[in-house]
Amino acid sequence: MRRKQLLPPWLLVVLFLSWSSAAPVPASSTTTTTTTLPGQMRRRRYYDSIFSLGDSYADTGNGPVVFGWHALASPVMRPPYGSTFFGRPTGRNCDGRLVIDFLAESLGLPLVPPFLQAQARHGTGSFRRGANFAVGGATALDASFFHRWDPPGGSVFPLNASLGVQLQWFQSLKRSLCATPKGCDRLLRRSLFFVGAFGANDYLLAMAATSLEQVGSLVPAVVRTISAAVERLIVEHGAATVVVPGVIPVGCAPPVLATFADPDPAGYDPRTGCLRSINEVATRHNALLQDGLRELRARHAAATVVYADFFGPVIDMVTSPAKFGFDEDVLTLCCGGPGRFNYNRHVFCGDPGASECKDPSARLFWDGVHLTEAAYRYVAAGWLSAIT
């Protein structure tokens, strides 16, 4: 695999990224945005709140705040982001709702407020039903790790919002949510935690800077970092239910297909048209992550640790697009610039010269590596059955 500049850093950030002004609503009175998902009928577990750490696949509005710290304009705060559901850009890297939104709706909880944005508006009082710490562009490994690849005078990645930093934000919020160990235990025992997805940004940043062999060698450290964060939530914070998503088949993502095009047809999986060697990194990440979670379950029998499959449902949609109501050119972006797969590294969704597909509900990929609301709805249905 040759070295290639995958994307300018700010675009990488865009690859992964959210807002809901939704005030906390009692579980029983969520009326306006409830969707019906398979599995909803047999709800067995109840949760009082959702706390979420992650990257752009889970970010409901923190990204633009973090961008602001670095004097960067967030590319997702403009049309057509949010056009399918919210009717305005919310900071989500999507045309509508993310998996976490569908899950919150199905569980009768308010959409999870983005911590950085809601804190600035309402203080910390608004997080008793949960908080979302996910930031588009976030990595599992600390940002400092990636500075080894900084070009002279620049930064391969400027954000300071890794998994470890998000854990610190959670810790600071927790102090304001509950004062005594008993009070905290009551609150957090009935909370649903999400740790991830993490990993895609680590690998994409590394892919832009180094060989695929080197990228693959990061997998154990990335997975250990995720497992360690889950264990800290259980041991230090009393989390009782933690959902840990794997990574998507990154080798199917249109920017990756366009940037790392392989002249050898054998480089592609004939079933999917995705890049084999890059998907192998994702498969290895997901396998090691599941091993790590099994170890955590053995050490902490009282906790429920759920692996959430992000890879399988995306492969399902790539291999059988018609079954999901998707167009045949399933690996083409809905929103992007001129070029193969509708991907152009200089013209991003929302830029002048970019175009948007007529019907995002007939598409799997929204912009870059992100999926459409239609795709997230399907992914959410699978995860819901694992947590209820």
By annotation, the residues acting in catalysis are 56, 367, 370
In the complex, the residues that contact ligand NAG under the rule CB under 6 A are: 160, 165, 168
Q: Which residue is nearest to ligand NAG (CB)?
A: 160
Q: Are 92 and 59 in contact (CB under 8 A)?
A: yes
- The upper half-sphere exposure of residue 324, i.e. CA atoms within 13 Å in the direction of its Cβ, equals 28
Instruction: Report the nearest approach of ligand NAG to the CB of residue 195 (Å).
Output: 17
Q: Are 52 and 196 in contact (CB under 8 A)?
A: no
Please work out, in degrees rounded to the nearest 5, the angle formed at the alpha carbon of residue 189 by the alpha carbons of 186 and 192. 130
Q: Which is closer to ligand NAG, CB of 21 or CB of 168?
A: 168
Q: Which is closer to ligand NAG, CB of 165 or CB of 234?
A: 165
Instruction: Report the nearest approach of ligand NAG to the CB of residue 173 (Å).
Output: 12
Describe the crossing of helices 219-237 and 163-177 by its angle, rounded to 10 degrees.
Answer: 10
Instruction: Report the nearest approach of ligand NAG to the CB of residue 116 (Å).
Output: 10
Structure tokens at 3: 């070295």
Q: Are 46 and 85 in contact (CB under 8 A)?
A: no
Q: Which is closer to ligand NAG, CB of 160 or CB of 283?
A: 160
H-helix or E-strand containing 9? helix 9-15
3-state helix, strand, coil in the chain (%, to 5): 45, 10, 45
Q: Are 57 and 245 in contact (CB under 8 A)?
A: yes
Q: Which is closer to ligand NAG, CB of 145 or CB of 348?
A: 145
Instruction: Report the nearest approach of ligand NAG to the CB of residue 217 (Å).
Output: 25
